[in-house]
Amino acid sequence: MADVLEIIRCSNFAAIKHKDQRRKDEEKTPYINHPIGVANILTEEAGIADVAVIQAALLHDTVEDTDTTFEEIQALFGEEVTGIVKEVTDEKNLPKLVRKQKQIEHAPHASYKAKLVKLADKLYNLRDLNRCTPVGWSQERVTEYFQWAHKVVEGLKGTNQPMEDSLQQLFKERNIV
């Protein structure tokens, strides 16, 4: 029961933090659909029932994309969840190319729990790109995102077979592998 309460607290916190944010699709889908969908991939497809991983998935874009601080997350959700969220948070002040390169370089060194969240995040975003093209994105930009995601996922190998198999299939369909 305590686990359920923690997960609802996280969901509520993330929903409030992302409330004014929308996805980049034509329909302007509420952004919260993304972290909830990432958590859902972990429970439904990856077979993950670790509460800290699910909490980190729900919170994974709050610091990167909203005014949330790690101190806030630490105070509300504790050390372990904060550690995972830190590992999957890009430094937004860095130039985009540097940020993208850092994800490729850091992926192999991430903890097992952070790797799980990263795999689910990439799987969700690639499926979302197949569903529809974000406003303003060219087909080249979509292709480049797939190619970059493939390099990140290469560094996450040996973490979770179901998610890696699904990702591999998406890369095959794009002729990347």
Ligand X SMILES: Nc1nc2c(ncn2[C@@H]2O[C@H](COP(=O)(O)OP(=O)(O)O)[C@@H](OP(=O)(O)OP(=O)(O)O)[C@H]2O)c(=O)[nH]1
Q: Pick between residue 20 and residue 175 the one whose CB is nearest to Mn ion.
A: 20
Does residue number 125 form part of the binding site for ligand X (CB under 6 A)?
A: yes
139 binds, among ligand X, Mn ion, none (CB under 5 to 8 A by kind): none
Catalytic hit among 25, 50, 65, 80? 65
The CA distance from 82 to 70, in Å, is 7
Q: Which of 10, 129, 153, 170 touches ligand X (CB under 6 A)?
A: 129
Report how many residues bind ligand X under the rule CB under 6 A.
13
Active-site annotation holds for 64: yes
Binders in 10-39 for ligand X, by CB under 6 A: 23-25, 34
Does residue number 106 form part of the binding site for ligand X (CB under 6 A)?
A: no
The answer to whether 174 touches 144, Cβ cutoff 8 Å, is no
Query: Considering the complex, what minimum distance in angstroms separates the CB of residue 52 from ligand X?
Result: 19
Query: Considering the complex, what minimum distance in angstroms separates the CB of residue 161 from ligand X?
Result: 22
Query: Considering the complex, what minimum distance in angstroms separates the CB of residue 42 from ligand X?
Result: 14
Does residue number 86 form part of the binding site for ligand X (CB under 6 A)?
A: no
The answer to whether 120 touches 163, Cβ cutoff 8 Å, is yes
Q: Pick between residue 61 and residue 87 the one whose CB is nearest to Mn ion.
A: 61
73 residue type, one letter: I
User: Can you give the binding site for ligand X, defined by CB under 6 A?
Assistant: 23-25, 34, 61, 64, 96, 121, 125, 128-129, 134, 145
What are the catalytic residues? 64-65
